[in-house]
Amino acid sequence: MNDYKLIRLDPSYSKLRSIDTHLFHYRSLKWLKESLLTSQAKKNIIVTHHAPSARSIPEKYKNDIISAAYASDLENFIIETQPDIWIHGHVHEPFDYFIHKTRIICNPHGYIQDPYNGFNSKLVIEVSV
């Protein structure tokens, strides 16, 4: 992946390594779990760049090993913490499905030069305080 060739954690540091991204993921997930389990909000909505499930990988890429860089396997995490909605990006096709009681949504416009990908211009997620 180009990320591991091009990204540096700071100018004097070596290139990004898989152990670095693993630790970022672990720490972020730990924080997110604690936040969700102690939340007193009426609704909990998560917005991430990466998909929380392989269900968000387009069919044509399901067996591609690089797909692991686009989606994590967080289905058990979702069932345990029960956020109301999880919105994500990173893939270029729309998805809208449930994992247990959590709605998973991805609604990218896609690349400008690509044909229509199913983007729903009328999709609105209303959040009130």
Q: Average the pLDDT over 3-11 and give the result.
A: 81
Beta partners for 102?
A: 99
- How much of the chain is helix, strand and coil, in % rounded to 5? 35, 15, 50
In tens, the pLDDT along 88-120 reads: 999 989 999 999 999 999 999 878 888 888 899
Task: State how far the Cα of 21 lies from the Cα of 26, in Å rounded to an integer.
Answer: 9
Torsion of CA 61, 84, 27, 92, to 10 degrees: 30
In tens, the pLDDT along 12-26 reads: 778 888 899 999 999
In tens, the pLDDT along 65-89 reads: 989 889 999 999 999 999 999 999 9
Query: Model pTM?
Result: 0.89
